[in-house]
C-alpha cells in the first residue's frame, strides 16, 4: 500500500482565513495612508531652541502616530502572510515577496522609532538643560533626520520589491484576475521605486502619501485576490 500525498498544505491557513486576511490588508493599507496624511509637521522654525520647543509640543501626536503605524505594519504583515500562504510557499517569487515585505516592515520600525520617540526625547532633554539647546543638539537632531529619511526610503523600496515579486508570481498563473493582479503589482512597485531611485526626493507627509498610495492600491488588489480564492475554495 502506497502512502498518498496530503491534499492540504499544513502551512496554509484554514477556511475563512482568506477573508480575514483580505480585511486586514484592506484596512491596514487605508490606515497606513491615513496615518501618513495625519503625520505631525513642524513648520516655520529656524533656531534650534524654537525647533526643540515645536518638537516637544508635537511629541504626544508624534508618539501616537508612529506607535500606531508600527502596530498597523505588524497586522499588515499577518495579512500578507495569509496572502502568500494562499498563493503557495513553493513558488520562489511568493516567498521572496513575503521576505521583502517583512524586511521592509522591520526596517520601517527604525525611522518610526526615531521620528516618533527619539526625536521628541532629544528635544525634551536639551530643553531641560539650564543653558538650553545648542549646536550639539542641532547636530544630533540633524543626524536623526537624515537617518529617518534613509531608512524610510530603504523600507519603501523593499516593500516595492515585495509587490513586484508577488506581481511576477501572479502574472504567470492562469486566470484573468491573476494576470491583472500581476500587472497591478508590477505597476504599484514601479511608481515608488522610480520616484525614490531616480531623484534625491526629500520625504515629507505630502509626497510620502503619494508614494504610500501605490502600496495601498497593491494591498487592495491583494485583498481582492484573497477574496476570489476564498470563494473558489
pLDDT in tens, 47-61: 888 899 999 999 999
CB 22, CB 223: distance < 8 Å: yes
Among 11, 193, 7, 191, CA closest to 91: 11
Q: Quote the distance between the C-alpha of residue 28 and its chain's center.
A: 10
pTM for this one?
0.89
pLDDT at position 6 is 43
Asked if pLDDT for residue 5 goes beyond 60, the answer is no
Please count the other Cβ atoms lying within 10 Å of the Cβ belonging to residue 101: 28
User: What band does 7 get if pLDDT is binned at 50, 70 and 90?
Assistant: very low
pLDDT tens-digit profile of 175-201?
A: 999 999 999 999 999 988 888 887 788
Amino acid at each position: 500500500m502506497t502512502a498518498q500525498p496530503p491534499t492540504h498544505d499544513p502551512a496554509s491557513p484554514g477556511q475563512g482565513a482568506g477573508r480575514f486576511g483580505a480585511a486586514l490588508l484592506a484596512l491596514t493599507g487605508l490606515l497606513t495612508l491615513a496615518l501618513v496624511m495625519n503625520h505631525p509637521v513642524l513648520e516655520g522654525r529656524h533656531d534650534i531652541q524654537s525647533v526643540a520647543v515645536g518638537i516637544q509640543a508635537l511629541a504626544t501626536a508624534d508618539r501616537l502616530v508612529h506607535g500606531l503605524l508600527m502596530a498597523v505594519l505588524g497586522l499588515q504583515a499577518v495579512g500578507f502572510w495569509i496572502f502568500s500562504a494562499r498563493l503557495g510557499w513553493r513558488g520562489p517569487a511568493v516567498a521572496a515577496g513575503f521576505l521583502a515585505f517583512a524586511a521592509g516592515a522591520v526596517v520601517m520600525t527604525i525611522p518610526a522609532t526615531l521620528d516618533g520617540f527619539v526625536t521628541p526625547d532629544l528635544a525634551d532633554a536639551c530643553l531641560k538643560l539650564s543653558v538650553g539647546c545648542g549646536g550639539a543638539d542641532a547636530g544630533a537632531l540633524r543626524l536623526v533626520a537624515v537617518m529617518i529619511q534613509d531608512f524610510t526610503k530603504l523600507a519603501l523600496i523593499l516593500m516595492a520589491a515585495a509587490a513586484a515579486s508577488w506581481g511576477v508570481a501572479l502574472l504567470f498563473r492562469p486566470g484573468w484576475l491573476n494576470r491583472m493582479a500581476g500587472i497591478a503589482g508590477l505597476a504599484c512597485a514601479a511608481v515608488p521605486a522610480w520616484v525614490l531611485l531616480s531623484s534625491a526626493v526629500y520625504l515629507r507627509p505630502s509626497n510620502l502619501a503619494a508614494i504610500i498610495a501605490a502600496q495601498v492600491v497593491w494591498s487592495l488588489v491583494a485583498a481582492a485576490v484573497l477574496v476570489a480564492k476564498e470563494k473558489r475554495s
